[in-house]
Chain A
């Protein structure tokens, strides 16, 4: 990217560079903010460990604090943390005594799988429902879909999760209720795939309901708006087939706001993942971060937050770039 000398940089490169600079600034703010927040919380990892193992020895606790570097001043700790981050070293988790990066690597795939399938299915289902509602606006399919979307929106994800477990695991016994895979049997790659899919269905559904609602409403609204645009009316007047109009002219434009939303939602998805991973025992990093907060495992939580910030920032950058491609009217500032 930075190959072009500044004078000859194209608009696009300049835009990307500018956005990267902004992302970097945001990252610095996030790290500093999180660091101080986490250290403001009462108690530290030494309290937790001493409490868990019921160690009744002040020297033992003092040694723990020294081992974890908690006896140094906050600024020194922050400086050390920043210095290590620059070398892409996240340090050791205090609770697990294992490199943070290793724990995250072990648990990130589960969360990514959950998040991408949830948001992906929400995107597909929501877009379809939204389009269908828009095509039949004011008639019963629209009403049914709109009411459904409202209900999805209003139902807390954890309640939905509990209800799904009750119905599909306890009563019907169709789906496994916790975990991500049956890890202790030998799998062929096919049976492993089927196994994971079975485990995935419920948490994915519970997590996606809220987003299905959002995308349905968003798609319906933007379809309705696009339908009234002049060129769509013209196309219709020209006698083009409705489906063709929908795809060629409308969907393409209607997708834009939906895409923007996608970028904004990575962070909130991770929050939802905390609840869903707890209900379904899904071995992801949402729960890991949550438990990390309660164990005051600062390196682990900082590592997860840092990586998720990087993720959020890169997704939104990517969406911005896609945006400029999808809609040439948008200028790059």
Chain B
């Protein structure tokens, strides 16, 4: 583990990624400090360009709300949606993928056909339908994004389990009579975590992108400001106030970039470890 962290800190990509994410984390943490009243207060003349009014370095939106407050509070919502959707998708993906790869046979067949079905329906359209059914809110957006992202996790986990269930250490666990559940959770899963962790960072990124696309189409939560919903709301004033799209848009791009860089770094760090372990075995 220490190895991984060491290598992570030696990779420039991962460092930049982590720096970007740290920045986002600070923004999320400081939102309530700087703007304890939330992002919805009407503070000044609407559609004031950045720097035009004192104290409003990023200007105001169409209703006269402070864009900085929106960006800070929005970072919380965007991160929350990205992280929560990813955790949910990981849980579901592992729950489906692990037994599928471990047991094989008809269990695998049934679970994989369900997974196929979810992958066959255009994922974005599925997310739209789910949100339309339950009405957009932060929780339902998380649910919808999780519902379209778990199949990829399930496949990944299944592939790892297929590989690892034949491994010697698993066979010896079986020999000493360890239960399937225990083998799955205490033996195989920890060893399958590396690729899962790497894909998780990418999943957070794509969840943030999906949320912004949904907001763009008017399917955001009107009670919470996210970067995606800021882009969505700013879009109709795009020609007169493009900063309303550009500022949150940049925030999205930088965060997604940071997550990807971190994912790359993690991938390199973990893979070298894997290579070495296999080589040493």
Contact = CB atoms under 8 A, between A and B. Distances in A.
A289 B125 contact: yes
Contacts of B253: 151, 154-155
A17 interface: no
Contact of B113 (A25, A38, A308): A25
B114 A29 contact: yes
A309 B231 CA distance: 31
Contact of B120 (A151, A271, A294, A309): A309
Q: On chain B, which size bracket covers the interface?
A: 35 or more
A26 interface: yes
Nearest to B115: A26
A275 to B, nearest CB: 6
B117 A158 contact: no
Contacts of B261: 150
A29 B231 contact: no
Contact of B122 (A29, A264, A267): A267
Interface in A122-177: 150-151, 153-159, 162
B133 to A, nearest CB: 5
A293 interface: yes
Interface in B34-81: none
SS class of chain B's interface: helix, strand, loop or mixed?
A: helix
Contacts of B124: 268, 270-272, 274-275
Contacts of B114: 29
A267 B119 contact: yes
Contact of A267 (B120, B216, B235, B260): B120
B125 A40 contact: no
A297 to B, nearest CB: 13
A32 to B, nearest CB: 9
A29 B133 contact: no
Interface stretch (B93-101, B165-173, B188-196, B205-213): B205-213
A309 B119 CA distance: 9
A33 B121 contact: yes
B204 to A, nearest CB: 12
Contacts of B125: 270-271, 274, 289-290, 293, 305
Interface of A: 22, 25-27, 29-30, 33-34, 37-38, 40-42, 150-151, 153-159, 162, 264, 267-268, 270-272, 274-275, 278, 289-290, 293-294, 305, 308-309, 312-313
Interface of B: 109, 113-114, 116-117, 119-126, 128-130, 132-133, 205, 209, 212-213, 216-217, 231, 235, 238, 245, 249, 252-254, 256-257, 260-261
Given A26-B113, A33-B121, A158-B213, 17 more contacts: A25-B113, A30-B120, A37-B126, A40-B133, A41-B132, A151-B257, A154-B260, A156-B231, A162-B245, A264-B119, A268-B124, A271-B122, A274-B124, A274-B217, A289-B122, A293-B129, A294-B132
